[in-house]
Amino acid sequence: MVKVKAGVDGFGETGLLVTRAAFNCGKLDIVAISDPFIDLNYTVYMFQYDSTHGKFHGTVKAENRKLVINGNPITIFQERDPCKIKWGDAGIESIMESTSVFTTMKKAGAHLQGGAKRVIISAPSADTPMFVMGVNHEKYDNSLKINSNASCTTNYLVPLAKLIPDNFGIMEGLKTSVHAITATQKTVDGPSGKL
């Protein structure tokens, strides 16, 4: 099986978990990560020790300015502007855009200027096709260069919200989300810098 060479932009919780999942499933070869806010030594620490998912069961180290996971060297970029990230030089085919910043076709398209062939946005998008497994994934068109995997809330709620009415019907519903704190959320109620 030929592995897809992939890159991750943004090494917060989503980017970290995508990278862990890639190493666990064996179908993706993560060859580059970009995050301008995290130095290499802290990237090693974050990957090895996750507060929610526990310790990574493998080897993780920094060597020759690369992140090395289970013996696989990963190029580290620390560039804020996606069109300046040299994805093409790293041989990247697909990018997981997990910064929550570049979520439109135009903004995510900057990764294509850097040499990526495809971009998958890990957040909702205002103008990019969105796909959710179990709901509309069969409509995915391989010619798409940019698409979105919607949001974490969409991915847990929409499959159920489709399954139940399709098979039983819904007269009324109420959804409650229990969500981990993100980098832009306060731990207690208060004004947000996002508004």
Q: How far is CA 16 from CA 9, 12, 118, 158, in A?
A: 10, 6, 19, 24
- The three-class DSSP label of residue 85 is coil
* Residue 106 phi, psi (nearest 5): -65, -50
CB 79 within 8 A of CB 85: yes
User: What is the greatest pairwise CA distance in the chain?
Assistant: 59
Which residues are tagged catalytic? 152
Structure token pair of residue 68: 């090395």
| Paired strand residues for 136 | none
